[in-house]
């Protein structure tokens, strides 16, 4: 084991000596989590609303007020001609436009059907979707209040109200930072440990130093351990840093056990180091290794793990595919630990999946590495 210790201290010596490496290792994750924490937000706020009110009644005004009352909408203007609504959307001034027909108040009062028109800027499908949803909810709420009012007036009796009340648990104000930042923690841990471990091994190939080491009586597994252990340690330090930023800067609640989070990070690192080792065995230069990692690991992992797109929205075939992506389980674990504060009693299937992937990938990579040497 002295050999492993020797390799470890050599590795840290080299990291310390490389003037670009250390800032990269310590600063990059912090910058990344800050940037991604802001950029990867799906919150829809300040929806700009344009209104064409053909009715100009108190009823139509109170309907529009319901939009602004939510805090999500800002009325950017009233237009005098329904055709202008399209123009306002085109120019990007408005995200959503509402067309209130003439006789809105009368029809609402007499119980006749009312046709409201909502126009949304679909160039950002996500925002359009969410704004339309909000608008539909607001409209439904308005309609309901009218019905209750009328029934009460007619019968003079209390009408039992039946309505579904939505309550969102875990992340009540639906802050997307709470949802995204834990995912970013997972992502950074993956990228850093995979690329650095691959690069550290390939660098020895490029320099030819690997041959000099392999003629010593050192065992391949000792070499691998000496190469991967430093990045396990660094990976854990990064998790600490990134967690600090998540909690202190983004106020993301960390409801679960910190110790468990670190433990499961360790489990996930088995997978990422295994992937790093695998990349290093099939690459001859550091550049090749980076390319391989990006295209064949990071991209599919990013898109199929549920980090960017909710898995539930994917077509069934793709959903099945996501079970083969280890990051998927880790993202579920991190989100669960952060937001729900659950422990292993809930997360054990994901932890088990990570263990299986980790041992499998690392085992295969070690075997492949040893075979390449022969």
Partner 1 sequence: MTQELHNEHAVVVEGLTKRFGNFVAVDSMSFNVKRGEIFGFLGPNGAGKSTTIRMLCGLLGPTEGSARVGGYDISTEPDRVKENIGYMSQRFSLYEDLTVEENIRFYGGIYGLEGAQFEERRQWAIEMAGLRGKETALTRTLSGGWKQRLALGCAVLHQPPIVFLDEPTGGVDPVSRRDFWDLIYNLSSEGTTVFVTTHYLDEAEHCNTIGLVYAGRLIALGSPTSLKSKLERYAIYEVVSENPVDAMDLLQKQPWVAETSIFGSAFHVSTDASTGSDAEIRRTLEQGNIGISRIQRISPSLEDVFIQLIAEESEK
- Residues at the contact surface with partner 1, assessed by CB under 8 A: 2-3, 5-7, 10, 13-14, 17-18, 207-209, 211-219, 373-374
> Of the two residues 30 and 213, which places its CB atom closer to partner 1 in the complex?
213
Chain centre distance of CA 183? 5
Phi, psi (degrees; rounded to nearest 5) at 303? -85, -25
CB of 23 to partner 1, least distance (A): 17
CB of 7 to partner 1, least distance (A): 8
Taking CA atoms, 242 is separated from 43, 125, 131, 155, 276, in Å, by: 22, 31, 32, 61, 21
> Of the two residues 172 and 208, which places its CB atom closer to partner 1 in the complex?
208
Q: Could you give the 3-state DSSP secondary structure of residue 288?
A: helix
CB of 222 to partner 1, least distance (A): 9
> Of the two residues 16 and 102, which places its CB atom closer to partner 1 in the complex?
16
Give dist(CA 228, CA 209) in Å, integer.
17
> Of the two residues 208 and 315, which places its CB atom closer to partner 1 in the complex?
208
CB of 173 to partner 1, least distance (A): 50
Give dist(CA 227, CA 211) in Å, integer.
15
The answer to whether 305 and 325 are in contact (CB under 8 A) is yes
> Of the two residues 195 and 222, which places its CB atom closer to partner 1 in the complex?
222
> Of the two residues 5 and 255, which places its CB atom closer to partner 1 in the complex?
5
CB of 10 to partner 1, least distance (A): 5
Q: Could you give the 3-state DSSP secondary structure of residue 343?
A: coil
Q: Alpha helix locations (H) across the chain?
A: 2-17, 21-39, 58-69, 82-90, 104-110, 125-155, 176-207, 209-214, 220-248, 258-282, 286-293, 299-304, 316-322, 326-335, 344-373
CB of 277 to partner 1, least distance (A): 19
């Amino acid at each position: 084991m002295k050999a492993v210790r020797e390799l470890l201290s050599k590795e840290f010596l080299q990291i310390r000596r490389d003037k670009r490496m250390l800032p990269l290792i310590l600063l990059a994750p912090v910058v990344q989590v800050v940037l991604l924490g802001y950029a990867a937000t799906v919150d829809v706020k300040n929806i700009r609303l344009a209104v064409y009110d053909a009715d100009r009644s108190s009823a139509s005004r109170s309907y529009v007020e319901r939009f602004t009352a939510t805090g999500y909408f800002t009325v950017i203007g009233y237009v005098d001609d329904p055709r202008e609504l399209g123009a306002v959307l085109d120019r990007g001034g408005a995200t959503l436009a509402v067309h209130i027909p003439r006789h809105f108040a009368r029809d609402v009062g007499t119980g006749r059907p009312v046709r409201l028109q909502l126009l949304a800027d679909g160039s950002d499908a996500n925002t359009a979707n969410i704004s339309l949803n909000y608008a539909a909810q607001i409209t439904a709420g308005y309609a309901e209040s009218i019905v209750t009012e009328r029934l009460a007036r007619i019968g003079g009796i209390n009408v039992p109200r039946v309505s579904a009340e939505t309550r969102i648990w875990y992340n009540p104000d639906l802050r997307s930072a709470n949802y995204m930042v834990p995912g970013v923690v997972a992502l950074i841990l993956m990228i850093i440990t995979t690329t650095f471990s691959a690069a550290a091994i390939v660098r020895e190939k490029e320099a030819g130093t690997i041959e000099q080491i392999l003629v010593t009586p050192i065992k391949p597994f000792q070499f691998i351990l000496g190469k991967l252990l430093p990045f396990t340690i660094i990976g854990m330090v990064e998790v600490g840093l990134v967690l600090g930023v998540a909690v202190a800067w983004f106020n993301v609640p960390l409801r679960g056990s910190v110790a468990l989070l670190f433990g499961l990070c360790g489990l996930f690192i088995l997978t990422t180091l295994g992937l790093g080792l695998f990349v290093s065995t099939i690459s001859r230069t550091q550049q090749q290794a980076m390319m391989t990692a990006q295209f064949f690991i990071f991209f599919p992992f990013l898109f199929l793990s549920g980090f960017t797109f909710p898995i539930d929205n994917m077509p069934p075939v793709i959903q099945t595919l996501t079970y083969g992506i280890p990051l998927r389980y880790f993202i579920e674990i991190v989100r669960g630990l952060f937001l729900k504060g659950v422990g292993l009693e809930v997360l054990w299937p994901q932890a088990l999946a990570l263990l299986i992937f980790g041992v499998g990938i690392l085992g295969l990579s070690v075997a492949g590495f040893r075979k390449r040497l022969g």
